[in-house]
Amino acid sequence: VAIIVTDGRPQDRVRESATQAKQTGIEIFAIGVGRAEMNSLREIASEPLEEHLDYVESYSAIEKLSNKFKEAFCVVDLCDSGDHDCEHICVSTPGSYKCACNEGFTLNPDGRTCGTCSSGGVDLAFVIDGSKSVRPENFQLVKKFINQIVDALEVGDQNARIALVQYSSSVRTEFPLNKFKSKQNIKTAVKKMDYMERGTMTGLALQHLSEKIFVPSQGARENIPKVGIVFTDGRSQDYINDFAQKVKDKGIKMFAIGVGNALEEELRIIASDPVKDHYHYTADFKTMNQIADKLQVKICAAPPKDPCACESLVEFQRKVEKIIKTLTSKLGAFTKKLAALENRLLV
C-alpha cells in the first residue's frame, strides 16, 4: 500500500510510473491538498477511484481522512480481541465475525448461542475432591465447572440424570441420579454444596460410586450409558487401583480430571481406555472451563449400551437351550410312540 500526498502539479510524467507500480500489486491512495492537480492524481490512484482518491483544502484538514485509513489498514480481529458474544466458537471474517458450535451442538436462531446436547439418555455422576488443598475459592470454580457441563445436557427422566458426590476423608452423596429432574434444580444444588475441607480418599469415593450411585435404587437405568467424572487436585491417601478397575468393569465410562498437584499416574488408573481421551490435566483452576468444553462433546457422544451385549446374549442363550431341551423331550416321546405303533403293525 502506498499513500501519496501532494499539493501541486507534478513536474514529470506520472502515468507510466503509476501503472507500473499498480501492476506489481501496489495499492495506491492519492490525496490532493489545496491546488493539487486532480487529473494527475486520478492517474496515480488505484481503482475504484471513489475509494482511493481524496481531496482536502488544506493540510490542517487532512486529519479528517484518518478514520478512513484506519478502517482500511488496521483490521481488528474481533475473535482474538474477545469483542464478540459467541457461546462456543468465534470465526473471524473480514471486518466482522460469525459464531459456530462445538461438535454435537447446533447454532440457535440468534446466531450466537448453541443448542443443548440431545443425544439421548445418560446417567452421569460427578465425583468431586473436597480436600483441604483445593481451597474455598477454587472450590467455587469447581462448582462452575460442573454447572458448565450441566448446561450442555438435556436433563430429564428420559434424558440425562445427574448425581453429585463429594469426598475428602469420607464420602458424601450430595444428590443421587433420581433426585432432580430439571437443569435449574441441579445447578442450584451444586451452588449450595458445602465444602468438606479435609483429606483425599479417592479410592473410597470410587467404591462409593460403584456401590452406592450406579445402582437401580438410586436411579441408575438399564441399557443407558453411564459416565463418571472424577475430579482431584492431589495424591490419594488410600489405594485406588482395585476400585477404579471395579467401576470400569461395570461398564462405566470414567473421565479423570486433574488440577495442580494431581498425579498423572493416578489419573491414568482412573480413566477409561483409550486413556488419552479420558483424562485431562490443567495446572490452574481458572482454565478448567476449557476442559469442560471438551467433556461436553464426549459425554454427548457416549454410545448407548448395546442391548445385545453380554447379559442379553446370556439370557438369549438360556432361552434357546430351554426350547431345544423341550423339543428334544417331545421328539423322544414321539419316537417311542412311533416305535410302539410299528410293533403293533408287525404283530
The band of 307, judged by pLDDT with boundaries at 50, 70 and 90, is: very low
* Mean per-residue pLDDT of the chain: 84
With 0-12 CB in 10 A as exposed, 13-18 as middle and 19+ as buried, what is 336? Answer: exposed
80: its cell numbers: 482474538
Distance CA 248, CA 270 (A): 8
Considering the domain 76-115, what is its CATH architecture?
Ribbon (2.10)
Q: Which residue has the higher pLDDT, 77 or 262?
A: 262
Q: Select the highest-mean-pLDDT range: 12-21, 37-46, 92-101, 169-178.
A: 169-178
Distance CA 69, CA 63 (A): 10
pLDDT tens-place string over residues 170-220: 999 999 999 999 999 999 999 999 999 999 999 999 999 999 999 999 999
How confident is the model at residue 72, as a pLDDT? 64
pLDDT tens-place string over residues 229-246: 999 998 999 999 999 999
Range from 133-137, 158-162, 296-300 carrying the lowest mean pLDDT = 296-300
The CATH homologous superfamily for domain 122-300 is: von Willebrand factor, type A domain (3.40.50.410)
For residue 155, which of 177, 133, 128, 132 has the smallest C-alpha distance? 177
Tell me if residue 121 falls in helix, strand or coil: coil
Angle at 296 between CA 292 and CA 297, to 5 degrees: 125
The band of 317, judged by pLDDT with boundaries at 50, 70 and 90, is: low
Tell me if residue 80 falls in helix, strand or coil: helix
Tell me if residue 83 falls in helix, strand or coil: coil
How confident is the model at residue 84, as a pLDDT? 81
How confident is the model at residue 76, as a pLDDT? 66
Whole-angstrom CA distances from 251 to 232, 244, 258, 345 are 22, 12, 22, 63
Total Cβ atoms within 10 A of residue 222: 9
Report the phi/psi class of residue 160: left, alpha or beta, with left for phi > 0 and alpha for psi in -120 to 50: beta
How confident is the model at residue 162, as a pLDDT? 96
Residue in this structure with the C-alpha cell 462405566, named with its chain if needed: 252
Return the CATH number of the domain spanning residue range 2-73.
Answer: 3.40.50.410
